[in-house]
Amino acid sequence: MAYQGILQRYGSLLGLPDHTQQVTLLEGGTPLVPVPGLVEKLGGDFELFVKFEGLNPTGSFKDRGMTAAVSEAVGRGAEAVICASTGNTAASAAAYAARAGLRAIVLIPEGKVAAGKLAGAIVYGAQVIQVQGSFDDALALVVEITQRTPLALVNSLNPYRLEGQKSAAFEICDTLGAAPDWLCLPVGNAGNITAYWMGFEQYHALKKTGLPQLLGAQAAGAAPLVLGHPVEQPETIATAIRIGRPARGEQALQAAQESRGRILAVSDDEILAAQQMLAGEGLWVEPASAAGLAGLKAEVEAGNLDPRGKRIVVVCTGHGLKDPDVITHSMEKPRVIPAEMGALVDVIKVG
Ligand code: F0G
């Protein structure tokens, strides 16, 4: 049968209520891409895969949680969904709401959302509201208004978001036939690392697939889980994870600890270098998405993580097309030539 999305594939393992009415864009089923070229660069002698979540329908992993959250909301008769977002959740909520015929309202931090995400939220027809403040300020507003009105909250405080996001852990185990030794991923509001751990634990109990160690990476300018306290003014080029007060922070720390892993901070330079490394393998991911690889590289180079003989998965959460400005702003303009063969030969210097 043709692929029908994660609720069809894993529905019985996702804790969704009976009233759930499936709303899908055929999310999930993303590739686990081997990257032997990066293994070489990191010293060799292990296996490395990228779970390329940027290939979901709206270009990020958020679609896994959103199909679950919107399907539940529709089933209980909700007419509108609302979320705070650094961009990807907004675009995903907007798309699934459009699919379901619901109204979507998204709050984003003013001027801090990448172009591809903002455009997504707009094109799918959401009401986009810029808040003069951070993601954390926007989330506080959204939480309060959903306590007073029937608007359905679709941030990862909504438990069904995590249920849907567990599906990525199931897919990795199904593809590899076991859990990896390490799973490396970015951490922002901390829903995803929490959901992965729930998924791996569930599959392990059910199918004896083993458990990975989790390596979560926060941006150094937005690293409350590393510092041990909220960050009032988070700042990073990886705007997707520019979050100072993660809603699922406690659970994320517990997941990392239970897995015998950790959450660490990586600098913007390390994130951009990892983005370039991935692009060198033909995988263009947005900056936040490269944080997992940046964390792995830092730990391997510091001698804190011995990759030899291990099977490691790096989760790349969003597509590079979401945030083209990071690249185009820092590069030299491509050379312009007259439409003449002589000029072309001069420039490319072949033969
Ligand atoms: N990577 C990307 C591309 C993201 O957009 C996010 C979160 C994360 C990683 C971190 O995941 O929050 O579950 O720890 N983006 C949210 C949003 C906050 O609004 O789109 P997390």
User: What average pLDDT does this structure show over 4-14?
Assistant: 97
What digits encode the pLDDT tens for the residues 28-50?
Answer: 999 999 999 999 999 989 999 99
pLDDT digits (tens, 9 = 90+) for 103-112: 999 999 999 9
- 3-state class (DSSP) for residue 51: strand
Strands 182-186 and 213-219, how do they pair? parallel
Instruction: Please report which confidence band the pLDDT of residue 351 belongs to, taking 50, 70 and 90 as the band edges.
Output: low
Residue to mutate (ligand 1; options 88, 196, 322; most atoms within 8 A of CB): 88
- Beta partners for residue 49, in sequence order: 34, 313
Residue 136 has pLDDT above 70, yes or no: yes
Q: Residues 303, 305, 306, 311: is their CA dihedral positive or negative?
A: negative
The yes-or-no verdict on residue 143 having pLDDT over 80 is yes
pLDDT exceeds 90 at position 332: no
Alpha-helix residue ranges (DSSP H) falling in 22-134: 36-41, 62-75, 88-100, 115-123
Average pLDDT of the segment spanning 271-294: 98
pLDDT at 1 over 90: no
Distance separating alpha carbons of residues 265 and 220, to the nearest angstrom:
5
Ligand 1 atom with the smallest distance to the CA of 83 is 19
| Prediction pTM value | 0.97
Q: Tens digit of pLDDT for each residue in 69-125?
A: 999 999 999 999 999 999 999 999 999 999 999 999 999 999 999 999 999 999 999
**What distance in angstroms lies between residue 94's CA and the mean position of ligand 1's atoms?**
16
- According to the model, what pLDDT value does residue 331 have? 78
Q: Tens digits of per-residue pLDDT, 191-208? A: 999 999 999 999 999 999
Given a cut of 70, whether residue 22 has pLDDT beyond it is yes
Q: Calculate ∠ Cα 95-202-87, nearest 5°.
A: 25
| Whole-number Å distance between alpha carbons of 198 and 187 | 15
Looking from the CA of residue 194, the nearest atom of ligand 1 is: 13
Residue in 155, 166, 317 to alter for ligand 1 test, most ligand atoms within 8 A of Cβ: 317
- Top pLDDT among 349 and 232 is at 232
Q: Which of 151-160, 238-247, 330-339 has the lowest mean pLDDT?
A: 330-339
How far does residue 317's CA lie from ligand 1's centre (Å)? 8
Instruction: Tell me what the pLDDT averaged over the chain comes to.
Output: 97
At residue 285, φ and ψ (nearest 5 deg) are: -125, 160
* CA–centroid distance, residue 254 to ligand 1 (Å): 19
d(Cα 276, Cα 61) in Å, to the nearest integer? 21
Q: Which residues line ligand 1 (CB under 6 A)?
A: 60, 62, 85-89, 156, 186-192, 240-241, 286, 288-289, 317-318
- Choice from 135, 143, 185, 241 to test ligand 1 binding pocket (greatest atom count within 8 A of CB): 241
Q: Which atom of ligand 1 is nearest to the CA of 89?
A: 20
